[in-house]
Structure 1
């Protein structure tokens, strides 16, 4: 194991700090390292493996399509793209979709669409469009996106950054309305902030934002790359408040945990600003991605994963909240997107995840203070018991040490 870790450190840029485990295989909610030790996956690759690892239906769809036609580029029509996007639009209630690969690419697509819509439809003076974002946001790692991040490390050394972004506090609808000007094109928001530490806004916040955006002719764009596709107990997290956005960004779970698939979806006048040559992607909308994405959407409905995430999430949240330890400051979340905030004077979240690994459970911290607990949506009650028992075992260790 040490040799493989050393090799990766030698030849790969150190832009991550992985836990000291070398994984070899995965099935369902379980991962296995090179020594044969099994671990319960409580992170789901940031929601990308919502269906679990190597789901047979998704692997079959991938294999069959790979043996037929994988990549052509959008220079031609294929028999896979139209049906996939039709299914995606019907399920989300959106009019049109533009396929991409990664979540960050889909966010960039949304930003381009919002700006061009502002100029061509709303009538904003050219080159003056503004997009409002929230403090604590995380939408990817491109230079444009890190430019509107409030996290210093994401920005340091990567400027200069693109102008045209205004930041307001997350969860504060009044601050959103106060920031709107005639030049405002859109409000880009995560219904639940993931990387910030699983931050759930006050009840009614998103509905208020919807009303404010409608009143001021501002696009409401929901970044549901992490929260979408049943993670929070609804197909889309914005549906908890009955909100229909003007633009929607999906990714991660859309690829079934097998390959990158993302999409920007929007109403007709927003998507209508694109003309041939305005935007593109060599791999976006490739037949392989479409086959897997379509199968993933079918599984969401057939396995009723929204209801399952709501039920299992309530179980996990309830059992974690019953743990009484001074190291726990707060347990919060929605569905199977849960964060356990720790008192750093007792233990850092990184240390906690390292100890959790030795008890056979894998997770990852965010900002050194919050442990993510976001397993595949197919997790069972018995597996939740295993995870909670491991969390309690780590807390016992540090409680005794204190």
Structure 2
């Protein structure tokens, strides 16, 4: 770290609430898949703002759209609407393949989209919710009740009652948990925070069968997996299921805060009526313009298919290293985890940062990669070429005090 980075981090510690701990870097700007810190060092960004920066940094289509919109109207409140908000809702319904009569509620984040989904489920007249162990749905108190990690939950209990967590991917546990008292089953098609885990399409199809049989809603959390991230517009489309609702955020705005709940069909969309939910900023003209620009650029540049092919390229390249510290590469599209045979992910990530690569040690034995969808195979190969040395450094014997 350089002098200016250190100085700014000292100021950060004095002025910013310490819920994130101390970040390692103060980033100044970005371009494409690269970012620079305040001391001028360049990094290949393979985390993409935690799957947010779908178009990378400074994409001209996004910059142009939000600059133009900022000069026209940033915010009008939901006492009114805008052409962009209407167009973005229509576009999301189409991309999701949702039936006639589907509708969208706009929020500002993934957690807020989950909160809307919880309220939607309560309108069924039931209150039971089934979620998965390992789930991460957000940190607002409603979303936190669905999130599984005890360290996140326990300091804020009691949370909303009626939430049952079942082993992710365990079909028998899911069968036992879903009853006629269940309002909704809420699942991530791929669990990003848990280490990029997938239960497989059969599990999601079973969730659809069970919820239909018991009159419950199937809500799929596509906050991290949506907007082309996994090689289809939404991950549920790979399983061949039709949910009752999905939650979307992260990549939709390309960095501009936005979230959405897409309710499938008129019966589900009609559960929430006038005055039962709201958001001051949700779907404002600036966020809508960003969302429309991101979706159009992804389509124009073929980035959904690129996510699929580039993701397979990354898997093949890392596997071909035959490095003893790599157990497997899992995930889909450009949401991947390099799974290690030893719990040294944090050390590898630190070495990677020193070498100019940003990766996320999402678990002690897993490195999460969620690069911008515009990442090139050449950039991925640059990281893969550096990876063996990074892995070796993480497991090399540390010098004793006498040796050092």
TM, length-normalised to structure 2: 0.93
Aligned partners of 1:361 and 1:390 also within 8 Å? no
**Worse-superposed segment, 288-297 or 388-397:** 388-397
What's the offset of the Cα at 1:78?
A: 2.2
User: How big is each residue's C-alpha offset from its partner over 1:140-198, in whole Å with a ceiling of 9 and x where there is no partner?
Assistant: 11122223332121013212211021111111223212111211111100000000000
Structure 1 position 216, deviation (Å): 2.3
Unaligned runs of 5+ in 1: none
Q: Deviations over 1:13-57 (max 9, x none)?
A: 221145522211101111111122211001011110011111110
1:71 is aligned to 2:71: no
SS of residue in 2 equivalent to 1:389 = helix
Q: Counterparts of 1:109 and 1:80 in 2: how far apart (Å)?
A: 21
Q: Which residue of 2 aligns with 1:265?
A: 262
1:261–1:289 CA contact under 8 A, matched in 2: yes
Aligned pair partner of 1:299 in 276, 297, 300: 297
Partner SS, residue 155 of structure 2: coil
Deviations for 1:304-360, whole angstroms, at most 9, x for unmatched residues? Answer: 11100000000111111223333333321111111122344xx52222111100111
Partners of 1:290 and 1:375 in 2: CA distance: 23
Q: Which moved more, 1:53-62 or 1:207-216?
A: 207-216
Look up the match of 2:239.
241
The equivalences for 1:99-138 within 5 A come to 99-116=106-123, 118-119=124-125, 124=126, 129-138=127-136
Q: 1:139 aligns with which of 127, 137, 140?
A: 137
How far apart, CA to CA, are the structure 2 residues paired with 1:149 and 1:254? Answer: 22
Q: 1:209/1:130 Cα in 2 relative to 1: closer, same or farther (>3 Å)?
A: same
Cα pair 2:118 2:142 within 8 Å, conserved: no
Q: Tell me, in whole angstroms, the C-alpha distance in 2 between the residues paired with 1:140 and 1:150.
A: 10
Q: Quote the residue 1:337 is aligned against.
A: 335
User: Is the CA contact (8 Å cut-off) linking 2:180 and 2:215 kept in structure 1?
Assistant: no
| Residue from 211, 214, 225 that aligns with 1:216 | 214
- Residue 401 of structure 2: aligned partner: none
The one of 360, 377, 390 aligned to 1:381: 377
Q: Structure 1 length as normaliser, TM-score? A: 0.93
Please say if residues 317 and 333 of structure 1, whose CA atoms lie closer than 8 Å, have aligned partners that are also in contact: no
Partners of 2:80 and 2:173 lie apart in 1 by 46
Could you tell me which residue of structure 1 aligns to residue 323 of structure 2?
A: 325
What corresponds to 1:390 in structure 2? 386
Partner of 1:20: 24
In structure 2, runs of 5+ residues without a counterpart are 399-404
Q: Any idea what the Cα deviations from partners look like across 1:54-109, whole Å, max 9, x if unmatched? A: 11101100000000011111011322211121111111122110111100000000
Residues 1:205 and 2:203 are matched in the alignment: yes
Q: Does residue 165 in structure 1 map to residue 172 in structure 2?
A: no
For residue 261 of structure 2, give the secondary structure of its aligned residue in structure 1: strand
Q: Paired residue for 1:357? A: 353
Deviates more, 1:63-72 or 1:294-303: 294-303
Q: Which residue does 1:196 correspond to in 2?
A: 194
Distance 2:147 2:247 in 1: 18
Moved more, 21-30 or 364-373: 364-373
Q: Give aligned pairs, total.
A: 390
